[in-house]
Amino acid sequence: MYKVVTKRFLNDSKSICLFEIEAPLVARHAQAGQFVVFRLDEQGERVPVSVAGYDREKGTVTVMVQAAGKTTKMLHTVEEGDYISDLVGPLGKATEMDDLRKVCVVGGGVGCAIAYPIAKEMHERGINVTFIAGFRSADIVILKEELKAVSDKLIMCTDDGSYGKKGFTTVFLKEEIEANIRDNEMQFDRVIAIGPDIMMKFLADVTRPYGIKTIISLDPIMVDGTGMCGCCRVIVGGETKFACVDGPDFDAHEVDFDSLLKRAAFYEDEQKAADQHICRITGGKRNG
């Protein structure tokens, strides 16, 4: 059993919540870019979430989780002092950041939570970080102060202009790349993007003509998280890869986004049905 020691909602709409969980063995080995798989109870489904932070001395791991469906909504009702049944990890490969000097990190929605520890570690290593954080609207904006602290330049934007600049992350990424050219500044040697698949697809289109290596963190449906079930397969550079063991980071210019987007929609009906079921039997509250 794994104890929740801190719980904190991160935005006004309470759609994303931070949990700090006691898990000394996971905390000892966790690195930015990796993920864990949790189960709320023995009958629960296995849910992958990224490592958003760790404290090796305290033996805790932090995750930031959006209430997307049945299990994540139930997780949001877990309180400080409660226990969850399992937390396995760290899984997947850590984000590569050796030899980088100037990076643009782009986060979309809850992707900002996943991108935050990557930006933080880069900043600590002395890499110049421009962070572009995009959200649909002001009520779901997260980590304002935290992102500022780890960025040399921070651009916050919303689709409707209710917080920060108005517009999509793609527009501001292109502006930053063009500004580097215009001002004779060093160009980004990498773009790292984490967010909705469609955002990452269009960001890849922005960087392709400039030849800037672009890494994205994929979150396909995962079951075992250890390369056994094949559920998380993605096509990268014409080859089949398993996101849980070969990723979750991949070269965006090599990813087959068409097959990725098709597979992401595959279980939509079942997920909606499970979500409606939990809301009916519990009124949206965790029932045990």
Site string for ligand FAD, 73-102 (x = CB under 6 A): ------------------------------
Q: Return d(Cα 34, Cα 91) in angstroms, integer.
A: 6
Is the peptide bond prior to 209 cis by the omega test (within 30 degrees of 0)? no
- The interface partner of residue 219, options being ligand FES, ligand FAD, none and the CB cut-off 5 to 8 Å by kind, is ligand FAD
Q: Please list every residue from 230 through 259 that binds ligand FES, using CB under 6 A.
A: 230-232, 242, 244
- Of 11, 13, 77, 271, the residue at the interface with ligand FAD (CB under 6 A) is 271
Residue 236 has phi, psi (to 5 degrees) of -130, 120
Q: Return d(Cα 34, Cα 30) in angstroms, integer.
A: 7
In one-letter notation, the amino acid at residue 185 is E
Q: Return d(Cα 46, Cα 68) in angstroms, integer.
A: 14
Task: Establish if 228 lies at the interface with ligand FES (CB under 6 A).
Answer: yes
- Of 15, 62, 66, 95, the residue at the interface with ligand FAD (CB under 6 A) is 66
Task: Establish if 225 lies at the interface with ligand FES (CB under 6 A).
Answer: yes
Q: Please list every residue from 115 through 144 that binds ligand FES, using CB under 6 A.
A: none
To ligand FAD, the closest distance from the beta carbon of 284 in angstroms equals: 12
Question: Quick one: which segment of 46-54, 117-125, 130-138, 198-206 binds ligand FAD (CB under 6 A)?
Answer: 46-54
Q: Which is nearer to ligand FES, 161 or 227 (CB)?
A: 227
Q: Return d(Cα 123, Cα 127) in angstroms, integer.
A: 5
Q: Return d(Cα 42, Cα 44) in angstroms, integer.
A: 6
Task: Establish if 227 lies at the interface with ligand FES (CB under 6 A).
Answer: yes
Q: Return d(Cα 189, Cα 42) in angstroms, integer.
A: 45
Q: Return d(Cα 247, Cα 256) in angstroms, integer.
A: 14
> How many residues make up the chain in this entry?
288
Site string for ligand FAD, 198-237 (x = CB under 6 A): ---------------------x-xx---------------
To ligand FAD, the closest distance from the beta carbon of 252 in angstroms equals: 16
What Rg, from alpha-carbon coordinates, does the chain have?
Answer: 19
- Of 139, 224, 254, 256, the residue at the interface with ligand FES (CB under 6 A) is 224
Give, as one character, the DSSP assignment of residue 255: B
Spatial CB neighbours of 226, under 8 Å, sequence gap ≥ 6:
91, 244, 245
In one-letter notation, the amino acid at residue 287 is N
- The interface partner of residue 71, options being ligand FAD, ligand FES, none and the CB cut-off 5 to 8 Å by kind, is ligand FAD
Q: Return d(Cα 120, Cα 149) in angstroms, integer.
A: 8
Binding site for ligand FES (CB under 6 A): 222-225, 227-232, 242, 244
Binding site for ligand FAD (CB under 6 A): 35, 47-50, 63-66, 68-72, 110, 113-114, 219, 221-222, 248, 264, 271, 274-275
